[in-house]
Amino acid sequence: MKNWKTLAAVGAISAGLIAGCGTTPAANSSGNSSTGAGNTATNSAGGSSASTSGSYTIGFAVSTTNNPFFVAMENGVKQEAQKLGVKVIVDNGNNDPSTQLNQVQDLIQQKVNAILLNPTDSQALSSAVTAANQANIPVITLDRSVNSGKVAAFIASDSVQAGKMAADELIKALKGKGNVVELQGIMGSSAEIDREKGFDQEIATAPGIHVVARQTAKFDRSTALNVMQNILQAHPDINGVFAQNDEMALGALKAIQQAGKSNIAIVGIDGEEEAVQDVQKGLLYADIAQQPTQEGVLGVDNALKLIKGQSVQSTISSPLQLVEKGSSFTGF
Amino acid sequence: MEKFGAVVRRYHLGPLIGLVILVIILSLLSPQFFTFGNLRNVALQTSVNALLAVGMTFVILTAGIDLSVGSSLALTAALSAGLMVAHVNPWVAALAALAAGAVAGFLNGVFVAYARLAPFIVTLGTMQLFRGLTEVYTNGNPIFNLPSSFSHFGTGLLLAIPLPVWVTAVVFGVVWVVLNKSVFGRRIYAIGGNETVAHLAGVPVKRYVVLVYVISGVLAALAGIVLTSRLGSAEPTAGTGYELDAITAVVLGGTSLFGGEGTILGTLIGALILGVIDNGLNLLNVNSFYQDAVKGLIILAAIMLDRKKSTGR
């Protein structure tokens, strides 16, 4: 008998918690205009605003929402959808390919008019795209693409180009001479491979620059702090750091500051707000900014074209922007 | 040799011997390894995992497991960073984080002790719950521009030793006394040895189990405070996978996953082994592709050194 009471209490607590989670984003959107703008475009609130322009629904399967980059992408999608009066269903894949596969299948079941897919994994999500193809639902991939299946358009920044631009900045900062450390992202991810490729090609044009250490910090700030601290022990004489994303650039910056060094040029990629601020403060040398919000906007625009039977380009490049001290980029 | 083996077993010297061997090898391979500056870095870098592992030791001693510590770390860190950005005094914000950690642990403890659910399942659930709440709270973005007085806590030195290392040392000291010299400590071992017998012997098992998870939650929050002050920001992804590092440290230190057996010094040594491996691989600039494999092999080797003890049971 007592056990039943406990179980009932547990049930009540969890129901309360779930209800609590459900209401929090709504509370955000009314209380905070800067972050809340996107929330009103979700399926629950979309009904009222969608009445103006037909009743199209786009499914957006995003890889994760615990990373500012993808949060910005999601905001871009929601804002553009709200502007155009399109309903959006957002599914967060939590970086898990199988979760995301299920979510895309659910979107197909809900008979959405188009799917925007930001795949967690290029191989695993191929079958999701094939399934959408069979259901005649057009798919646009954002930021990463898939290995097989028919994709109507692929929208992304050019990661090889981003690596090249970062290398150019370091060459400029070091005047063509010095020792450089490369902090790598999650090994084997397409961003890691392509950014490294572009960086290596370009840095090779400056024979006076030596890459003395390459270590992975998994795109993660706290890992980068520790890894950079360790590298500084082995290489006290470094002049530059190329971090394959901003999170690692910011972690490396902390390690360098805490080691009491100031003449090390750090270049990151992404355009996160904090990194952009640190470029302005002169703490980071430069940042190669992507524009994920813009990727989301382009995704919705092109999805609507497809729904209306218009043709779109198969590869659409989202612009990169060099952020230097004094430039006006505001982060995503 | 037989006598040496007996001594190793009696004083649980396996992990310590493993650490010493590792340190000797790394000192030979890298001239930078055995320097004061580098060892200080290792201690600093180990502090977060060591704090989580102390809490995990309590939990595992009662034959439980706490998979939620990484998420608790992220949630409490985000809460305190949010308060600081809203101009709450940093120390008040840090206290609020510790309180939130206690609440998170209490939730785990109640589910485990009173609802009688398996710790693995309960904390698997709360791991997701706390991570989700962190994402809601931070909207997926890091919270930064924390006050510099708070950053000093993670980066400042006292007698040439970083403050987080002092904090970790004090926590270990207190916990050593609690586990070895107090009634509470003896009862924790008793619960892990045999819960029914402990109950019949008059130990308030349920309350103790709740308390153990509260300790784990508070220490996760403390680890979160250390990490946040080192980084000067709170990340929604902070602590991802840290529960596994903490469990690894505890197991490397010779604590039995079946409960009732283990030492806090072993856990400290286990955490140091992990810290030394990461540091050494970076110093030697080992190719990233090989790092996880090498780390795994070293962990297996360290456990092998401790093998006799476990097979002897």
d(CA B104, CA A18): 16
Q: Which chain A residues are closer than 8 Å to B240 by Cβ?
A: 220
Residue A9 Cα, gap to closest chain B Cα (Å) = 9
Residue A150 Cα, gap to closest chain B Cα (Å) = 31
Residue A332 Cα, gap to closest chain B Cα (Å) = 11
The verdict on B27 touching A (C-beta cutoff 8 Å) is no
d(CA B197, CA B203): 9
- Give pLDDT, residue B254: 86
pLDDT digits (tens, 9 = 90+) for B15-44: 888 899 889 999 999 888 999 989 999 999
Q: Which residue has the tokens 């791991």?
A: B127
Residue A312 Cα, gap to closest chain B Cα (Å) = 31
pLDDT digits (tens, 9 = 90+) for B136-171: 999 888 898 888 888 888 888 889 899 999 999 999
The two three-digit tokens of residue A269, written as one number: 């990629």
- Give pLDDT, residue B10: 66
pLDDT digits (tens, 9 = 90+) for B213-262: 999 999 999 999 999 999 989 989 899 889 999 999 999 888 888 888 88
Write the Ramachandran bin of B271: left for phi over 0, alpha for psi from -120 to 50, otherwise beta: alpha
d(CA A151, CA A137): 10
* Interaxial angle between packed helices B148-155 and B90-113, expressed in degrees from 0 to 180 and rounded to the nearest 10: 60
- Give pLDDT, residue A27: 35
- Give pLDDT, residue A28: 35
Check: CB of residue A191 under 8 Å from CB of residue A290: no
Consecutive 10-residue runs of chain A (332 residues): their mean pLDDT?
53 51 37 34 38 75 87 94 94 89 93 94 87 94 88 92 96 96 88 93 96 93 95 94 96 94 94 92 95 93 94 90 87 74
- Give pLDDT, residue B2: 57
CA nearest to A188 within chain B: B289
Per CB distance under 8 Å, which residues of A are interface residues toward B?
A: 3, 6-7, 10, 17, 21, 24-25, 28, 35, 65-68, 70-71, 184, 187, 213-216, 220-222, 225-227, 229-231, 233-234, 247, 250-251, 254, 258, 272-274
pLDDT digits (tens, 9 = 90+) for B232-241: 899 898 998 8
- DSSP code per residue over B96-162: HHHHHHHHHHHHHHHHHHTS---HHHHHHHHHHHHHHHHHHHHTTS-B----HHHHHHHH-EETTEE
Check: CB of residue B32 under 8 Å from CB of residue B38: yes
- Give pLDDT, residue A52: 43
CB nearest A6 (choices: B115, B289, B291): B115
d(CA B227, CA B221): 10
Locate all alpha helices (DSSP H) within B182-204, ordered by sequence.
Answer: 183-193, 195-200
Q: Three-state SS for A88?
A: strand
Residue A308 Cα, gap to closest chain B Cα (Å) = 33
Check: CB of residue A250 under 8 Å from CB of residue A269: no
pTM of the model: 0.78
Q: Where residue B197 falls among pLDDT bands split at 50, 70, 90?
A: confident
CB nearest B227 (choices: A66, A214, A222): A222
- Give pLDDT, residue B62: 93
Q: In what order do the strands lie in the sheet with A265-270?
A: A209-216, A178-184, A240-243, A265-270, A286-289, A321-323
pLDDT digits (tens, 9 = 90+) for A10-65: 555 555 544 444 433 333 333 333 333 333 334 433 333 333 456 899 999 999 88
- Give pLDDT, residue B313: 43
To the nearest whole number, what is the mean pLDDT of chain B? 89
d(CA B57, CA B63): 10
Which residues 105-134 on chain B approach chain A with CB closer than 8 angstroms? 111, 114-116, 129, 131-134
What interface predicted TM-score (ipTM) does this complex get? 0.82
Which value, to the nearest 10 degrees, does the dihedral of the CA atoms of residues A46, A48, A49, A54 take? 90
The two three-digit tokens of residue B60, written as one number: 């595992």
